[in-house]
Chain A
């Protein structure tokens, strides 16, 4: 069964460093998303991406975040200068369409900023 794949599963980084989280969405999906979940809190929407551009983003997704689809398969989330409060589980998701369609989530990347 097709699945969304995320790498790495766990990343530890020092405060101020740049990190890139990687995702391979399901191959025929057109819409891509990043969410995050701080430990013990709700899953929060970060950004959606379609046709090689951001289509919607939340107030959390500030200038230190960026997303990219560098090739036909990968979808990345870059955090330029990590802060302690960026420590969270980051989930990638994809869907075929934007409405009335299931979103499929990856297993997440646990980011720990020290």
Chain B
């Protein structure tokens, strides 16, 4: 059974700081990993999809890396802004192709 853990659970940083969010998963037989952003009481916004054959994927100030063999992914946010404040979730396929397991989330607060 796939288990997905995110560390830290919460993070508070001053504006402008670079930061790293961590995601670990127990079953490394995955074909992709997706990072999402969730604002309070809102839906899920897809940030990045990284394929199992890739090691990195970039979108603007975001960079996601994937190390399948160690069961880890990181989301790097450069030059953080108050608008980045949200909960960040990683999600990996679990068992069948279509079932996705979400992580516990990291709640990020960027202080102006």
**CB within 8 Å of B: which residues of A?**
6, 31, 33, 35, 42-45, 48, 50, 55-56, 58, 89, 91, 93, 98-108, 110
Selected from B41, B46, B51, B98, the residue in CB contact (under 8 A) with A48 is B98
Q: Contact at B43–A108, with CB atoms within 8 Å? A: yes
CB distance from A51 to the nearest CB of B (A): 12
Told that A35-B102, A45-B101, A56-B98 touch, could you supply 17 new A-B pairs with CB distance under 8 A?
A: A35-B100, A42-B103, A43-B89, A43-B91, A43-B102, A45-B94, A45-B99, A50-B98, A56-B99, A99-B32, A99-B93, A102-B46, A102-B49, A103-B46, A103-B100, A107-B43, A108-B42
**CB within 8 Å of A: which residues of B?**
31-32, 34, 36, 41-46, 49, 51, 89, 91, 93-94, 96-105
| B39, closest chain A residue (CB) | A107
Selected from B32, B36, B43, B101, the residue in CB contact (under 8 A) with A100 is B32
CB distance from A85 to the nearest CB of B (A): 19
In whole angstroms, what is the CA distance A6 to B43 when docked?
A: 10
In whole angstroms, what is the CA distance A50 to B96 when docked?
A: 14
Given contacts A100-B51, A105-B36, contact A33 B98 (CB under 8 A): yes
| B51, closest chain A residue (CB) | A100
Selected from B91, B97, B104, the residue in CB contact (under 8 A) with A99 is B97
- B residues less than 8 Å from A102 (CB atoms): 34, 46, 49
In whole angstroms, what is the CA distance A43 to B94 when docked?
A: 13
Q: Contact at A100–B31, with CB atoms within 8 Å? A: yes
Q: Contact at B46–A56, with CB atoms within 8 Å? A: no
- A residues less than 8 Å from B43 (CB atoms): 6, 91, 105-108
- A residues less than 8 Å from B45 (CB atoms): 105
Max chain B C-beta neighbours (<10 A), residue from A50, A93, A100, A110: A100
In whole angstroms, what is the CA distance A43 to B98 when docked?
A: 15
Max chain B C-beta neighbours (<10 A), residue from A58, A103, A105: A103
In whole angstroms, what is the CA distance A103 to B99 when docked?
A: 11
> 19 A-B residue contacts at CB 8 Å?
A6-B43, A31-B98, A33-B98, A42-B105, A43-B89, A45-B99, A45-B100, A48-B98, A56-B98, A56-B99, A91-B44, A93-B44, A99-B31, A99-B32, A101-B49, A103-B46, A105-B36, A105-B44, A108-B43
